[in-house]
Amino acid sequence: MTNENGKGTATDFDVVVVGAGFAGLVMLYRLRQIGVTARAYETGNGVGGTWFWNRYPGARCDVESMEYSYQFSPELQQEWNWTERYSAQPEILRYINHVADRFDLRRDIQLSTRVTTATYDEGNALWTVETDRGDRVTARFLVMATGCLSAANTPNFPGRDSFAGRSLHTGAWPQEGVDFTGKRVGIIGTGSSGIQSIPVIADECAHLTVFQRTPNFSVPAGNRPLTVAERDRVKAVYPEFRAANSLTPFGVNFDSTGISALAVSDDARVNEYEERWEKGGLRFLGAFVDLMFDRDANATAAEFVRDKIRSIVKDPEVAAMLTPKDVIGCKRLCSDTGYFEAFNRPNVKLVDVAADPIVEITKDGLRTQTRAFEFDTLVYATGFDAMTGALTRIDIRGKGGAKLADAWSAGPRTYLGVATVGFPNLFLVTGPGSPSVLSNMVPSVEQHAQWISSCIRDLRDRGTRSIEAQPDAQDSWVGHVNEVAGTTLYPQCNSWYLGSNVPGKPRVFMPYLGYATYVEKCNEVAANGYEGFTLG
């Protein structure tokens, strides 16, 4: 038991952290640095979060390995050797496990434990946290390191449980792996997870039927082994490399040309796209600065990719079905290894379920309005209740017993994406209203862990028991997030950024675009004595 600040109510821990993925681990590391006690609860039977659960075939990061890694320890940064330009899931999971061991973080983590409720006691300024394993502990602060894409979305099709074969979700893949040899497989969904897994499953199984509701833009990943020279080049200037990336809007090196797509000749523009297509990766969107702001500029990139799809896919009817109509990058751009090529295989069939919707799952497979399909295995690559799902699925009660899910029933409202009115001493790591999914997640979780731990240290040093976002500050932040989103093309399609992939979820643009601006704002708020927060 601890007794914080030498005064106040005794608590089991100073801080409870929910989740032990990238965010939870660095949070624990930072909390230990400031000398407070912490316990992390993690649902999985291992650390790793996203990279623990998403073990589907072909799972790979689409941010380059040298950037998708921690920077809190210069030694770790120098020691670890990534083997590929884009790391595959097993390598990232090995890295996270290495970090947990190297910094002795496991002693503060309780695995295989799901937090079920968290209740704030206003009088004593403390949280009581309960788990599905019967734990009931108190802490001054509660930090939700629950991930932005961790609450699986499995559409509630009629008959969903009647399927006699095996049902799988890409975001909750069995640890022992899945053998598709000789199997007839159906897969629903063509987002990043579907696009990565389809070519690999197709290669293994007897037959694959892909159920596509919306065609997606994807660029070749251009993955390849990293050479020692490439790694050494970055390692020699790692701090400068990180600092330069942190000044960009997405906090990631998109190698932007800094010019408008409409300011160059048609030939120059196509050459730029061609070069980026050849090199591979999401830097494709760095070709021109206005791609996510100007419809005409965006249309040039979209048309380039449409032409590529038509040139890769041999059957013109299938190519037409795979060709997206909307804005490129509006739904998160995918990067793939042989996705469009997979549709040239004789064992892959594409079904357009926008034209012929799925009406039910059956014992043998599924039925659309006009046809029946049979398979042995059904894969849901149907994404996540993004950004809010992992939070609202826990019964979190703030002041006066108010439930977070109710407070956010019209969409999430936060101050800086790190705190929300009515829930004192609750911190969200990369919550809605922070750059989170519109940035490189690892630096973003590190920035939050650093900010939150400094805040807890400052409160302790001043003998302050509680911190709560002020309604005015929250309103103006939410307004600002929306205003920025309104200047972009992001709100113009149905994406999980807007919650529109989950039936009934309010349509609100959740992430904040502008990593560098955001970091500056967070630092300013702290420097001004936590401006916009009430300290008690």
* Shortest reach from residue 467's CB to ligand NAP, in Å: 30
145 or 353: whose CB is closer to ligand NAP?
353
Q: Which of 230, 194, 228 is nearest to 213 (CA)?
A: 194
* Shortest reach from residue 57's CB to ligand NAP, in Å: 12
28 or 309: whose CB is closer to ligand NAP?
309
Give a three-class secondary structure readout of 28-39: HHHHHHCCCCEE
496 or 533: whose CB is closer to ligand NAP?
496
Please enumerate in sequence order all residues whose Cβ is within 8 A of that of 82, keeping only pairs 6 or more positions apart, or say none.
Answer: 65, 66, 69, 91, 226, 231
CA angle 179, 180, 182 (to 5 degrees): 120
* Shortest reach from residue 256's CB to ligand NAP, in Å: 20
Q: How far is 359 from 136, CA to CA, in rounded Å?
A: 43
* Shortest reach from residue 133's CB to ligand NAP, in Å: 28
375 or 477: whose CB is closer to ligand NAP?
375
Q: How far is 153 from 262, CA to CA, in rounded Å?
A: 39
Residue 256 is encoded by which pair of tokens? 């932007």
* Shortest reach from residue 438's CB to ligand NAP, in Å: 10
* Shortest reach from residue 366's CB to ligand NAP, in Å: 10
* Shortest reach from residue 491's CB to ligand NAP, in Å: 15
189 or 422: whose CB is closer to ligand NAP?
189
Q: Which helix (H) or strand (E) holds 303?
A: helix 295-312
100 or 437: whose CB is closer to ligand NAP?
437
* Shortest reach from residue 170's CB to ligand NAP, in Å: 6
Radius of gyration, CA atoms only, the chain: 23
Q: What share of the chain is helix, strand, coil (3-state, %, to 5)?
A: 35, 20, 45
* Shortest reach from residue 60's CB to ligand NAP, in Å: 6
Q: Which of 470, 477, 469, 392 is nearest to 434 (CA)?
A: 477
- DSSP assignment, residue 512? -
* Shortest reach from residue 400's CB to ligand NAP, in Å: 35
Binding residues (CB under 6 A) for ligand NAP: these are: 60-62, 149, 155, 170, 188-194, 196, 213-214, 332, 353, 358, 381-384, 437, 496, 501
Q: How far is 331 from 191, CA to CA, in rounded Å?
A: 9
Burial of 412 (C-beta count, 10 Å sphere; 0-12/13-18/19+): buried
194 or 532: whose CB is closer to ligand NAP?
194
Question: 216 and 324 in contact (C-beta within 8 Å)?
Answer: yes
* Shortest reach from residue 250's CB to ligand NAP, in Å: 12
* Shortest reach from residue 187's CB to ligand NAP, in Å: 9
65 or 192: whose CB is closer to ligand NAP?
192
The letter for the amino acid at 489 is L
427: left (phi over 0), alpha (psi -120 to 50) or beta: beta
DSSP 60-97: B-SS-TTTSS--S-HHHHHH----BSS-BHHHHHHHHH
Question: 388 and 194 in contact (C-beta within 8 Å)?
Answer: no
* Shortest reach from residue 238's CB to ligand NAP, in Å: 22
Q: How many CB atoms lie within 10 A of CB 300?
A: 22
Measure CA 90 to chain center: 18
Extended strands (E) in 264-375: 334-336, 348-352, 358-361, 365-368, 372-374
68 or 423: whose CB is closer to ligand NAP?
68
Structure-token match 């699925």, residue found: 393
433: left (phi over 0), alpha (psi -120 to 50) or beta: left
42 or 326: whose CB is closer to ligand NAP?
326
Q: How many CB atoms lie within 10 A of CB 503?
A: 8
88 or 259: whose CB is closer to ligand NAP?
88
* Shortest reach from residue 353's CB to ligand NAP, in Å: 5
462 or 507: whose CB is closer to ligand NAP?
507
173 or 277: whose CB is closer to ligand NAP?
173
Biggest alpha carbon–alpha carbon distance for the chain = 73
Q: Which of 225, 32, 5, 211 is nearest to 126 (CA)?
A: 5
CB-nearest residue to ligand NAP: 191
Question: 194 and 170 in contact (C-beta within 8 Å)?
Answer: yes
Q: How far is 334 from 310, CA to CA, in rounded Å?
A: 17
11 or 216: whose CB is closer to ligand NAP?
216
